[in-house]
Amino acid sequence: MKVIAIANQKGGIGKTTTAAALSAGLKQRGFKVLAVDVDPQGNLSTSTGANNYEMPTVYEMLKGEVDANEAIQKLDVFDIIPSNVMLAGAEQELSQIGKEQRLKERLLPIMDFYDYIVIDTPPALGVLTINAFTVADEIIIPTTAGIFAATGIKQLHDTIINVRKYCNEKVKIAGILLTRYDPRANNNKDMKDLTEQLGEYINAKLFNTHIRASIVVEESQARQIDVFSYKGKSTVAQDYTAWIDEYLKGVCS
Ligand SMILES: Nc1ncnc2c1ncn2[C@@H]1O[C@H](COP(=O)(O)OP(=O)(O)O)[C@@H](O)[C@H]1O
Ligand SMILES: [Mg+2]
């Protein structure tokens, strides 16, 4: 059993897309997968077609009103605990003592039913993301290749160091994943610069596989179909397949 948090406090860089592709890809490889949407925007929930308005969500689960079991929806693509905008109140509503541990406490009873739990986080380094890091074994950091990508990663790295110190000493960074990659716009020099800047800030590997930019991502999300089932031969489906292979190889070796 492994818990993976997908995180970066910057929005729009492919966290939710990566969480969905990783969850779907692992399930298609025969693993038992639970995705947990810990973002009040609920993009993972809506892009998979989970019911996040009539059924219990991660918000009720964190408040202790329902058990994890009652919040899980078994979709064809993977199991999911959805979220919606109510979760935005969690920061204030979770009691102060032990509030970083809440997600871990709530997920513990169901963990052994799954091979992988994949957590999508909001674009912030607040209490929700800290909850995800506290239960996680590994963190995957999607990022784009833009010039300022590296500075935000330093802040993220500092947060992870603090989580290790106070909440979860075992959590590690599995790697940094370049997403929305455009081989024409992101030239070799940009890539070299990014790699060097990242090296200054963070001791983590950049995955060899990059996820190329493709309209197929938005199309599949609008249709609420995972990218592999929607267009398995598309560049982006191939990239995510190659990346999951690379990720699993690292896990096994
Ligand atoms: N590889 C990609 N190619 C093209 N568009 C992408 C790609 N990955 C994500 N997107 C699009 O970019 C936007 C932000 O992606 P998302 O995964 O929601 O990022 P985040 O969760 O970090 O905010 C979405 O509209 C999504 O459809
Ligand atoms: Mg998102």
Q: What is the pLDDT of residues 86-139, one digit of tens each?
A: 999 987 888 778 899 999 999 999 999 999 999 999 999 999 999 999 999 999
> Residue 193 — pLDDT band, cuts 50, 70, 90?
confident
Is the Cβ atom of 144 under 6 angstroms away from ligand 1?
A: no
pLDDT at position 250 over 90: no
Q: Which two tokens stand for residue 192?
A: 């070299």
* Burial category of 115 from C-beta neighbours within 10 Å (exposed 0-12, middle 13-18, buried 19 and up): middle
pTM, to two decimals: 0.97
Find out whether the beta carbon of 141 lies less than 6 Å from any atom of ligand 1: no
Atom 26 (ligand 1) nearest CA: 218
On the 0-12 / 13-18 / 19+ scale of CB atoms within 10 A, 29 is: middle
Q: For residue 151, name the pLDDT band (cuts at 50, 70, 90).
A: confident
Taking CA atoms only, the protein residue closest to ligand 1 atom 16 is 14
Please give the Cα distance from 78 to 198 (Å, whole number): 33
Give all domains of the chain, ordered by start, each with its CATH number. 2-252 (3.40.50.300)
Torsion of CA 169, 171, 175, 176, to 10 degrees: -90
Report how far residue 131's alpha carbon sits from residue 128's, in angstroms, rounded to the nearest whole number: 5
pLDDT of residue 91: 78
Q: What are 141's strand-pairing partners? A: 176
Q: Is 211 in the pocket of ligand 1 (CB under 6 A)?
A: yes
Asked whether residue 187 carries a pLDDT value surpassing 80, the answer given is no
Which tokens go with 36?
A: 């947990």
Q: Tell me if 9 CB under 6 Å of ligand 1.
A: no
| Contact present, 11 and 154 (Cβ < 8 Å) | no
Residue 144 per-residue DSSP state: -
Can you tell me the distance from the alpha carbon of 105 to that of 192, in angstroms, rounded to the nearest whole number? 42
Atom of ligand 1 nearest to the CA of 13: 22
Confidence of residue 252 (pLDDT cuts 50, 70, 90): low
The closest ligand to the CA of 44 turns out to be 2
pLDDT (tens digit per residue) in 197-245? 887 888 888 999 999 999 999 999 999 999 999 999 999 999 999 999 9
CB distance 129 to ligand 1 below 6 Å: no
- At 148, the pLDDT band (50, 70, 90 cuts) reads low
